[in-house]
Chain A
Amino acid sequence: MEEKLILEDGIEVEQVYRRPETLTDVPYHYCPGCSHSVVHNVLMEVVADLGIQEQTIGVAPVGCSVFAYHYMNVDMQEAAHGRASAVATGIKRVMPDKLVFSYQGDGDLAAIGTAETIHTANRGENILVVFINNGIYGMTGGQMAPTSLPGMVTSTSPYGRDVSMVGYPLKITELVAQLPATYYVTRQSAHNPNAVRKLKKAITKSFEYQQQKKGTCFIEVVSNCPSGWKMTPVETIKYLEEVMFPYYPLGDLKVPKN
């Protein structure tokens, strides 16, 4: 990336970072402080770094990231709510040598699309699933998600999630990790620079495994939602660390056996 640049006023500077060609020149519509934009960046940086833009096909979900294809400069399909992994299956099966990822929220992946999620992973579809778990339905205005924490106040659990009525938050990543055909299952975050570096490594590994036709790679990113949680971005980081991570502990759930 490093190269010399001459600014308009003649000053010579060194460019150490720039928008990768895998991102379009469109400003994100996401709320300030939302993880979606960070994860988009990291994902597309990896696609650029690995030089796989021409082979990569993405699937956008229904959710806040429904417009992921506005920003990701790769061929993309927009799936029906919950069906991204089925759409990804269709793409991958007819083009087994291409690299396919789905990008899905928790409502999409762990509520309406649970069957597709489990069965795609159970078949070991050779794709990458990026799962943004922000514990809430962001796009529709902050309703309870299958992953909302006990007691969490949302617009459809205004007195807090009552687990005696609606059950406990679904740890779908743990379920996916149990399935023999999944290859690499990990839970990451994107809330500070160190976490972003780790996330980037996980995504890089996943694409490499996919190139080696190893099976399903599944990355949960425990994320925030300042608008849905009704918090400032800084407060959401605290909530992540104090409330979300204890319930959704970060780290690998399944790593390849050597």
Chain B
Amino acid sequence: MEKEIRTEEPRLMKGNEALAEAAIRANIDAYFGYPITPQSEVIEYLMFEVPNRKDKKTVVLQAESEVASINMVYGAAGAGARVMTSSSSPGISLMQEGISYIASAQLPCLVVNVVRGGPGLGTIQPSQSDYFQATKGGGHGDYHLIVLAPSSVQELADFVFDAFKLAEKYRNPAMILADGALGQMMEKVVLPKDNSLPKVSKPWATTGKTKDRERNIITSLFIQPEVMEKVNLELQEKYAAMQSEVRWEELNTDDAEVLLVAFGLSARICQKVMDLGRAKGIKIGLLRPITLYPFPYKRIAELAEKVDFILDVEMNAGQMVEDVRLAVEGRAPVYFKGRMGGMISTPDDILNEVEAISEKLNVLHQ
């Protein structure tokens, strides 16, 4: 690849490649993965690029399956490495047992899901239908990932750094939940600065038992129910502490009468809806959750007091809308607009929906 890669000038990059380059710059120790569309460029980029970086010792290994990948991640994370994997929906489903083990053993790592439409083998077109899987645990047991939802190639790169920061702070797996369009599209990106993510000390890692300490054990097995409950309580305490990391973006919410709530690519589309609506005199605002776990319940509840209604827009059958309703608790009517299977609502579709709801509710926005 070009020499300019090390400059901090804006570059035009594909989402998956920006993500991979950010991972190199975050000094990951290892990446384990298995090819799947629409995110194979991540491992392809790493395989091509890492050997050219003489200052990097990154391990990049193509595993025999996503099951193997995630368990390699477990081993490397348990050994104290900064480690990640990436995949798309079917592959992420295969990883769920491993992710549950990682959450229970409290190992920091990054899992990237460049979502495609399902269920089943589905389609390679973009989707947001893995929201439940990402935010509610995904595998067995009571656990949560830290989930970041980028809405641009820039964020896809930046969130690699943010995800590792949070994962290492809380000893918790983090997920970047993107979608096939973000992974595949090219945009301007200013890459995060190389070597700018400090390593943290991991005294619990299995690096070999030295004389001055007890042996370190990485496990998710707590066979006595009293102990297992205690571990669960600790995890729940950690998830409560993680709530302070909640992040969202607001646009035009000050005077908004209609609030759109959308994440990732849908939020990009909703920006356009907002502009089109405002040109027509409809005061539309947008709230974009950036962390999907933790979720900005409080802020959505506050805004619900001020608006006529909320329209939640997703590329699925309506998943985040359940969290929006939990936040709103009846303070305002909540509607949903979504398409499935890799189809994407156009700005006009969504604006028509806003107008139709306004009419139905008899609220005049002109």
CB within 8 Å of B: which residues of A? 53-57, 59-60, 66-67, 69, 73-80, 83, 86-95, 98, 115-116, 119
Contacts and interface: CB of A to CB of B under 8 A. Distances in A.
A93 B61 contact: yes
A115 B83 contact: no
Interface string B184-205: 0000000000000000000000
Contact of A54 (B67, B78, B101, B208): B208
A112 to B, nearest CB: 10
Contact of A83 (B71, B206, B210): B71
B220 A78 contact: yes
Contacts of A92: 75
Given A90-B72, A95-B207, A73 B78 contact: no
Contact of B101 (A66, A80, A91, A115): A80
Interface stretch (B122-130, B211-219, B242-250, B318-326): B211-219
A215 to B, nearest CB: 16
Interface in B66-101: 67-68, 71-81, 83, 97-98, 101
B63 interface: yes
A86 B68 CA distance: 6
B23 interface: no
Nearest to A76: B217
A78 B221 contact: yes
A74 B217 CA distance: 9
A209 to B, nearest CB: 19
Given A69-B215, A83-B71, 4 more contacts: A75-B208, A91-B76, A95-B207, A116-B71
A95 B72 CA distance: 13
Contacts of B77: 90
A90 B79 contact: yes
Nearest to A86: B71
B71 A69 contact: no
Interface of B: 29-30, 32, 59, 61, 63-65, 67-68, 71-81, 83, 97-98, 101, 105, 206-211, 215-221
Contacts of B81: 90, 94
Nearest to B213: A75
A80 to B, nearest CB: 5
A77 to B, nearest CB: 4
Contacts of A119: 63-64, 68
A77 B71 contact: no
A193 B157 CA distance: 60
Given A93-B30, A94-B81, A87 B71 contact: yes
B355 to A, nearest CB: 51
Contacts of A86: 63, 67-68, 71-72, 75
Contact of A77 (B29, B68, B206, B210): B206
A57 B217 contact: no
9 contacts: A53-B208, A75-B209, A77-B206, A77-B217, A79-B74, A83-B68, A92-B75, A93-B30, A93-B72
Given A69-B219, A91-B75, A119-B68, A57 B30 contact: no
Nearest to A73: B215
Contact of A76 (B98, B211, B218): B218
Contacts of B216: 75-76
A89 B80 CA distance: 14
Contacts of B221: 66-67, 78
A67 B76 CA distance: 20
Nearest to A116: B68
A90 B105 CA distance: 15
A94 B29 contact: yes
Given A75-B216, A80-B98, A57 B61 contact: no
Contacts of A115: 64-65, 67-68
Contact of B211 (A54, A74, A94, A98): A54
A77 B72 contact: no
B101 A116 contact: no
Nearest to B206: A75
Contact of B215 (A59, A75, A89, A116): A75
Nearest to A96: B59
A83 B98 contact: yes
A55 B210 CA distance: 8
Contacts of A60: 219
Contact of B97 (A69, A74, A80, A89): A80
Nearest to B32: A90
A78 B218 contact: yes
10 smallest CB-CB distances across A and B, nearest first, come from A90-B75, A90-B72, A87-B75, A75-B206, A86-B71, A90-B76, A83-B71, A78-B219, A119-B64, A94-B81
Contacts of A67: 221
Q: Which of A56, A73, A86 has most B Cβ within 10 Å? A: A86
A119 B68 CA distance: 9
A78 B65 CA distance: 20
Contacts of B74: 77, 79-80, 83, 87, 90
Contacts of A57: 79, 206-208
Q: Which of B61, B83, B218, B219 has most A Cβ within 10 Å? A: B218
Contacts of B219: 60, 69, 77-78
A67 B68 CA distance: 22
Contacts of A83: 67-68, 71, 74, 98
